[in-house]
Amino acid sequence: MQIPGSPLLEVNHLHTSFFTFSGEVQAVRDVSFRAHRGEIVGVVGESGSGKSVTFLSVTRLLSASGKIVGGEVRFDGENVLAMSHMQLRKLRNQGIGMVFQEPMTSLNPTMQIGVQIVERIRAFNKGISNQQARAQAVRLLESVRIPEAKNQLKAYPYELSGGMRQRVMFAIAIATGPKLLIADEPTTALDVTIQSQILKLIRSLRNDTNVCIILITHDLGVVAETCERVIVMYGGMIMEEGLVDEIFYETAHPYTIGLRKSIPNINQLGGDRLYSVPGSPPNLLNPPQGCPFYARCDQAMRICKQHRPPYYQLSPTHRSMCWLLDPDYPGRGGGR
């Protein structure tokens, strides 16, 4: 994918597995992509598609059974997979900020939010006084559009709404000025009005600070209004990657077409059922030899079962992995 400028994050042929009693679960398989300063990249896919595991691998925050078994991750030119504990700590605290789906599991329910933000600021800025850190905490809460920020410092997490708690999580994540912000399903637990406010906040944070934002979501509708580029994942692999307009108006992969069809349409007639891609994701204990989407694809051909398709470059910014894109392939149109 050709995007001008050197990438902030570069992932090359990443493979991550979980070693369980049942065997090796190949959660991420040969994933490569780039992300640049100042862009918002959406990573879309169903549960189990490998999107969260990819970014837990990038930050090396995998659980004990998870292991990166191949590939390369570079952040700001540094090899993340070769970093020491001290370097990783610095990376997670100052290089990369993270926001998760449910803020109540990340915030300490027994501490005022002001104390939690001040702790975060002072942990990475030893020379700053408590008073200066509190002033900075107010500025951070203002930057995430929390009204009466100074008064809210004394609030406990349970006193805030879900949307306000998520804003606090963004404030904590940007407290140390990260270059990359990973937001994993930040709007999933919120109603649509609050969801729209959080997406607006994500865009304004990028505009204000030029931070690169990775927005992980299962909802293609969320990326449509927020992101410049989209990566579509399925079965631990990237199925399609492109600019948001390419993904929506020049959709190349049958799985992306299915995701697009499953976005609720305001013009849909009352009795119409919402579309969902039939079937279930592949078992990554024993991943399919050919195309990961074969079992659920209504356009599958004989070749798809046996051979994994390569990536076809459809434009400098758009690529997809599907045999349908190869006009010369002799097995094309052969039926299942």
Any idea what DSSP says for residue 159?
G
User: For the chain, first and last CA: distance in Å?
Assistant: 32
Shorter beta-carbon distance to ligand SF4: residue 186 or 258: 258
Binding mask 195-234 for ligand SF4 (x = CB under 6 A): ----------------------------------------
Burial of 17 (0-12, 13-18, 19+ CB in 10 A): buried
The nearest distance, CB 234 to ligand SF4, in angstroms, is 9
294 contacts ligand SF4 (rule: CB under 6 A): yes
Residues 231-270 that bind ligand SF4 (CB under 6 A): 254
Within the chain, residue ranges assigned H as helices are 51-58, 85-90, 103-106, 113-123, 130-143, 149-152, 162-174, 192-209, 220-224, 244-249, 254-261, 302-306
CB of 297 to ligand SF4, least distance (A): 3
CA 67 – CA 48 distance, rounded (Å): 16
Per-residue burial over 205-217, b if 16 or more Cβ lie within 10 Å, else e, is bbeebebbbbbbb
Q: Angle at CA 74, nearest 5°, toward 125 and 47?
A: 95
Six token digits for residue 25: 């679960």
289 binds ligand SF4 (CB under 6 A): no
Residue count, binding to ligand SF4 (CB under 6 A): 13
Q: Which stretch binds ligand SF4 (CB under 6 A): 10-18, 50-58, 79-87, 299-307?
A: 299-307
Q: Of 268 and 299, which CB lies nearer to ligand SF4 in the complex structure?
A: 299
**265 vs 254: CA distance, rounded Å:** 19
Q: Among 107, 230, 243, 324, which residue sits at the site for ligand SF4 (rule: CB under 6 A)?
A: 324
Beta bridge partners of 230: 42, 242
Q: Which of 48, 300, 312, 318 binds ligand SF4 (CB under 6 A)?
A: 300
Closest distance of CB 329 from ligand SF4, Å = 10
168 binds ligand SF4 (CB under 6 A): no
Contacts with ligand SF4, residue ranges (CB under 6 A) = 254, 291, 293-294, 297, 299-301, 304, 309, 322-324
